[in-house]
Chain A
Amino acid sequence: MSSRIAQGGAINRQQVCRFTFDGAGYSGYAGDSLASALLANDIRLVGRSFKYHRPRGILSAGSEEPNALVELRSGARREPNTRATDIELYDGLEATSQNRWPSLKFDVQAINGLFSPLFVAGFYYKTFMWPASFWEKVYEPLIRRAAGLGRAALEADPDHYEKSWAHCDVLVIGAGPAGLAAALTAARTGARVILADENFVLGGRCLAERRTIDGQPAADWAAQAIAELRSMPDVRLFPRTTVFGVFDDGVYGAVERVNDHLPVPPEFQPRQRVWRFIAKQAVLASGAIERPLVFGNNDLPGVMLAGAVRTYLNRYAVLPGRRAVVFTDNDDGWTTAADLVAAGGQVAAIVDSREPVIVSELARRFPDIQAIAGEVNGARGGRHVESVEVTSRTGTSHRIDCNLVAMSGGWSPTLHLTSHKGNRPRWDEERSIFVPDMLPTGMRVAGAANGDMTLGEALVTGFRQGLTAAASCGFSGSMPALPRVTEESARRVPLWRVRQALGKCFVDFQNDVTTDDVELAEHEGYRSIEHLKRYTTLGMATDQGKTSGVTGIALLAQRRSIPVAATGTTTFRPPYTPVAMGALAGHHRGMDFRPTRYAPSHRWASELGASFTESGPWLRAQWFPRAGETDWFEPTCREVKAVRSTVGLCDVSTLGKIDVQGPDALKFIERLYANNFATLAVGRTRYGIMLREDGFMFDDGTAARLAENRYLITTTTAHAVQVYQHMHLCHQTLWPELDVQFVSVTDQWAQFAVAGPRSRALLQRVLDPRCDLSNEAFPFMACGEVALRNGEPARLFRISFSGELAYEIAVPGHRGDALIRTLHDAGQDLGVVPYGLEALNVLRVEKGHVVGSELNGQTTAHDLGFGRMLSTQKDFIGSVLGRRANLIDPARPRLVGIKTVDRNAKLAGGMHFIPQHAQRSIEHDQGHVTSVCYSPILEQWIGLGLLTNGPDRHGEKVMVVDPLRGAETLVEICSPVFIDPEGARLRG
């Protein structure tokens, strides 16, 4: 640990943390970041750059880091592109460098640097354009291997992620001096305060600077402030929490890294938690990000931001280089020189690009340091900086040996969150920074984020904004006495690029964008900042240009000879730093993506070994295999045959059920359904169709008139929610005068189909013997209340989806399990068979009943053979537009049945109809096959389809073609009702 300073720093030297980097073992201390621990171990080279595979080191000390991206952890927990500067060191940490092959020190693709003309601005639009066929096989794999970031884990993430809400009066974002000050004044008024900071220690630059507040070190002041805040019951502190987005109505998105500082989260704890903070007011105190200077080879490891150098010295007690050159265009750079000297480092020279008069004035305060008014033209070195070439204003050149270059191009306010709702920042010409302009409702900005760069200003604006924010929520307090702070100055004369450069000058480190790329893009006409971004990739990828954006804008302005204000900025959007998809998903993954709805017979079906499938949110039985049946086909055929010859049981509870009551119930139903219900008697059920207002089919189902003013209507399983919403919309907006009430009772009733020639016999065993099921007493489409043998109430409907003599019996949901068992037991000697969705589908295709494949949102009542049902006597939803000529055109694809001419041929859903001798092309397409099945009754494949002029073409032979799989076969067009077209069975 040769670069560790003997004393000081916010690290715990009693607690050693062992970690590995690229497999080699090292150690650091609790309180280190991975970056500070690497530097303490003299690791300077930590990654390879995106395009040119140039060696890269650690540039910054925070979340703005573009270079030092590593893969954290291993196996299923491997996380790519994590910033070494942000990662809290823990015992057992594993990190791996990225984008290098075969090794970090020897990377064969560094040769990309030699071919760099290929990788200039817009390279992926130019180099890889032609021929198109090369994309998949040559270019893409090549680019992916050469230009990449980290690798995502291949296994499923074993950890948990949570989502949560929190409410407060004042949200303070950032816990540096301004944020702590704001939280203090707000909290002292009694307001509920949330204070969040992305770092694992609260305090921000109080921890990184050798400054004093009221005579005590800034870090001690911060510790006291945090202690006071912690003691207040209405204050919640969120370290390790990035507020990544500002959303509408005071909603702030944040991700809390609950357990990222442990190798494995403790049991029952999430790795991360996504918060939605609901705040009446917010104080943004996110600080500022330092800009790199643009000179030759400014990307060499050992070239660091000057402020980051101070963080490593003062917070982590690490000397990032023994012999430093400081290069600055502002006063703040001199503080770094002073801190380096104070920490025992050697400052070979401070190079200041400003006028000699400014430089010599400052130099008087640092008599021991060689001060040069001039600029660094370039850094030299192989995998690490070894020297710099410097030209003074007088024209003399020097080579200065050094192993650290601390550069400062001034600080840019971290104002990203001020523009998440579309507001653009404003260019402040005097200070050469963008500052927040229009703010999201309820947001205020304090400290460096607002351009108030000194510690004194940060504290004052923090105190004030915290107080005003609390006042806006109705809390009052007073300004505290302003503390005395170390004097400092933030003068700057911007140097956007050096006049004479040696080597590539990087603007955007993460995307390998150089000054040449910016110039070339401008030359080629990409003059808008948004175009520059897309064309050169400046400001893209995981860091989104945090260190490069402002410089890129200024260089474009310089090149175009226009003011920076006229160039504008690109749009900042959430998230501020990358957020894992897993965190955003929370617990909603796999089977927990949404709640699973179980049918009332689920347990009984499971005991019978049923195979289940998802049907919308429901889990439904597909088939009930018996011993020896190994696929879906055998049980399905057996179940179908049983329904057609004996009796079958099927859970149909998933259909939507809506109970409609009130004096105007009939009027309401009449307006919802396209067909007539006025003539429906009490105790009878009728099939009904609903249209959308545009005249297309919406849904179908039945309405049972249970009493004079009471109907029970059913919907398809798929449309249950939409129909219910639609009914409310109609009632609440179209006909609020109707005296009608309705409620969904889908979950309240278990309903089973009892279908087949022996269904009546089976029901007679289960129902009260006084219940008369004869055709005379309970004919087809009858409905009514009945009693079970044990006296329990039930509802019985004589409706049939299978075309057989059939009933549906309903009992309160919690009695469903008992009833299905009773039915199953009672019917054993009748040959009762449970049947699932597959058999249900075969039965309905054989009868030509339409379902979702035909009710696909593009079909009309006429298309599906319901044209004559449309009432002409009343207004109903869809009545006017449903009559449009185009919707009743007989040449539209309309419902037909199909059967294969070759009885051994198979069919597939989605096949297209093509006239028998026509070319298989889209011009001859006459519709498509919507549903297919193997009919065990007809012993061949049959189907339903939508065919141009279909009903007029029964008997014709047409090809059905599946161009994707290269299949085709000849079919005969027929009536969609394959079985018992007269309906004798269901009336039996």
Chain B
Amino acid sequence: MRIPCPHCGPRTHEEFTYYGDATVRRPSATGPDAEAAFYDYVYTRDNPCGLHRELWFHQGGCHEWLVVERDTRNHDIKGAVPARSVFSADDAT
């Protein structure tokens, strides 16, 4: 499997460290149901059959966290973008 790093180009997966689901967002620590929200955030995951957005760290390259879109059925990778662009856009909305 190769991941198209936006900074380094297509690189073999051994250079990357997998983290997991890139769609969950850290909840507020001060909300009334903070513990339940954090429980979901940390433990509850979907196991999608098909496209999945997930975090990979380019440990053997640029040290950028990437959001990679991968098809869990066949490992086809649709694309990879810097995580900071995705998560910053969240904040803007």
Contact = CB atoms under 8 A, between A and B. Distances in A.
Interface in B1-40: 1-2, 10, 12, 17, 19, 26, 29-30, 34-35, 38-39
B83 to A, nearest CB: 5
B74 interface: yes
22 contacts: A247-B1, A248-B1, A248-B2, A248-B76, A249-B75, A251-B12, A422-B74, A693-B26, A693-B41, A725-B17, A728-B63, A732-B82, A732-B83, A733-B65, A736-B84, A737-B88, A737-B91, A875-B30, A880-B34, A881-B35, A881-B39, A883-B35
Interface string A732-771: 1110110000000000000000000000000000000000
A725 B55 CA distance: 12
Given A248-B2, A422-B73, A879-B29, 11 more contacts: A248-B1, A251-B2, A694-B43, A728-B64, A729-B57, A733-B83, A733-B84, A733-B87, A734-B87, A737-B91, A875-B30
Size category of the binding interface on chain B = 20 to 34
Interface residues of A, number: 26
A127 interface: no
| Residue from B10, B30, B65, B76 whose CB has the most chain A CB atoms within 10 Å | B65
Contacts of A732: 64-65, 82-84, 87
Interface of A: 247-249, 251, 276, 278, 421-422, 441, 693-694, 721, 725, 728-729, 732-734, 736-737, 875, 879-881, 883-884
Contacts of B39: 881
A881 to B, nearest CB: 5
B35 A248 contact: no
B38 A725 contact: no
Contacts of A247: 1
Nearest to A734: B26
B35 A736 contact: no
B74 A733 contact: no
Interface string B63-93: 1110000000111110000111011100100
Contact of B42 (A694, A728, A737): A694
Nearest to B19: A729
Interface of A is mostly: mixed
B21 to A, nearest CB: 11
Contacts of A693: 26, 38, 41-42
Contact of B76 (A441, A728, A733): A441
Contact of B29 (A276, A421, A694, A880): A880
Query: What are the 8 A-B residue pairs with the smallest beta carbon separation, nearest first?
Result: A875-B29, A248-B1, A248-B75, A880-B38, A732-B84, A736-B84, A732-B65, A733-B87
A879 B35 CA distance: 10
A725 B57 contact: yes
A422 B19 CA distance: 25
Given A879-B29, A880-B29, A736 B55 contact: no
Contacts of A721: 59
Contacts of B55: 729, 733
Nearest to B64: A732
A86 B74 CA distance: 33
B3 to A, nearest CB: 9
Contact of A884 (B29, B30, B35): B35
Nearest to B91: A737
B65 A729 contact: yes
A276 B11 CA distance: 13
Contacts of A736: 84, 87-88, 91
Contacts of B30: 875
A875 B34 CA distance: 11
A169 to B, nearest CB: 15
B10 to A, nearest CB: 8
A728 B77 CA distance: 23
Contacts of A421: 74
Contacts of B75: 248-249
Nearest to A880: B38
| Residue from A249, A421, A737 whose CB has the most chain B CB atoms within 10 Å | A249
A249 B80 CA distance: 14
A838 B65 CA distance: 38
A881 B87 contact: no
B41 A728 contact: no
A736 B85 CA distance: 9
Contact of A881 (B42, B64, B77): B42
| Residue from A728, A732, A737, A884 whose CB has the most chain B CB atoms within 10 Å | A732
Contacts of A884: 35
Given A693-B38, A880-B29, A880-B35, A728 B65 contact: yes
B30 to A, nearest CB: 7
Nearest to A693: B42
Nearest to A882: B38
A441 B77 CA distance: 12
A725 B66 CA distance: 12
B18 to A, nearest CB: 11
A733 B86 CA distance: 8
Given A729-B19, A880-B29, A884-B35, A248 B74 contact: yes
A249 B13 CA distance: 11
A278 B11 CA distance: 11
Nearest to B63: A728
Contacts of A276: 12
Contacts of A729: 19, 55, 57, 65
Contacts of B91: 736-737
A729 B43 CA distance: 18
Nearest to B73: A422
A884 B73 CA distance: 37
B71 to A, nearest CB: 10
Contacts of A725: 17, 57, 59
A839 B88 CA distance: 48
A143 B76 CA distance: 44
A736 B39 CA distance: 23
A52 to B, nearest CB: 42
Nearest to A276: B12
A733 B1 CA distance: 24
